[in-house]
Structure 1
């Protein structure tokens, strides 16, 4: 699922392509919007809200979408062949004289009044990349349930909006805390919103996300005889590889943390982040 920085970049790309121009073509291919035609309306702006995209039109209308796992938007020049997938996967087409934005496999697509946007995004916590970011409010929400596991609290978009599974794992590592540690037991919890903001801001303009200082450069724990691996991230996607901090083995576990995190895998270093899903310091490797 795209995380807040990815959605931010996508919103910028769509805004640059569509904003300030009237639609010359509109095709919304979901049953409830099949008769809607926004042709002739000018696109006011495209803005992200956490992992949500809001395309605002003159006349006070907003097209809301959420990409979830498989959704994507592609932008094409006039006359360019569309290559984002087969035609039956297209859910939305917004075209101007110069550019066409095509939405593929969009699981959530709604049209509502701009004044009613709170109906679809009002439940979200402070947006890490939004203009009204409020770290104090984010911290208050995170600590409202002190018994909740840190990883689960980070993924809950009602606490702070924009963190997905990659940032969950990387934040827990950088905090030197187990993802299963009750957040109320985390020393210096005010570090959480500050660090999350720092990471997403640093990556919002990058196509290759990185949370380490090495990027693709060699690291002492990965010698010439070892398999080459990506060093842009501390633990995410590095199961079975050496921890870039201590040299121990990065492990994984199905999160099992309820509906918010079903089917997501947690990556962590048991040496740097003592405490596994069942409280043991070194759970069996998967």
Structure 2
């Protein structure tokens, strides 16, 4: 049976008419949450951690974290490491599939990343050793952060922990070569990216130092030898010490000089004490000197002198002999 046109129109109208909105329906609410950073200032290579609280939204809410360095994670893990220095703003987006909200950072959402602190140099950037042996280089560290650990990878396979202090000097043994240690600073935020320290060069020292005696203008005058002096130098590791011995004799007796008691002692061929040798350093101009008391005319003076460098290369022993006639 066919329906009347009026009935068809009413039926179509019933299909098209929607349910009217109720005045007490709740409006759609975007999910939210509050976030805090465990640190807003770290060193390159370290990590920060977000703590979430007060999330408002269904259990199906998805979290996306934009860490500000090009890393965007969904679902976002709460910890992130920064590789390079810079200033990074963090954004958190929450979505429940229908509504999208933004995480709230009451204390700020910017992380400042800097290079780990500290200055690391060498007491002497070039040191010398004897072939087949090792030598100590002394690293000078300053500006180390407090409440931190500072690790040094020495570049030869060894790693050690430096003290945490305003400044420190740490020695390490090296063979020949060029060595560049790597410094890693660590605190509660983790280990920072290792930093290269200044390089240390270790060379073989195969040369001997040079040493000379300064002869006074009137060497026959006893008083002109009240101070025995000379020069010494070395082109590589540097002069360590100069050794000096002094003897005098007349027709009847030979004496050696005791540099501790500052007196002449009769010498009859006996073993000499350590005090019969003066071990002298050189000053900035390469000069060495030592006083010798009790010389007078009528004697013959003989001075022996020799030198070693800092790795043990030594000169021959040289001597000079002068008759004291006044």
TM over 0.5: no
TM range (shorter): under 0.3
- State the TM-score, normalizing by the size of structure 1: 0.24
Give 1 or 2: higher strand fraction.
Answer: 2
Give 1 or 2: higher helix fraction.
Answer: 1
Greater RCO, CA 8 A, separation 6+:
1
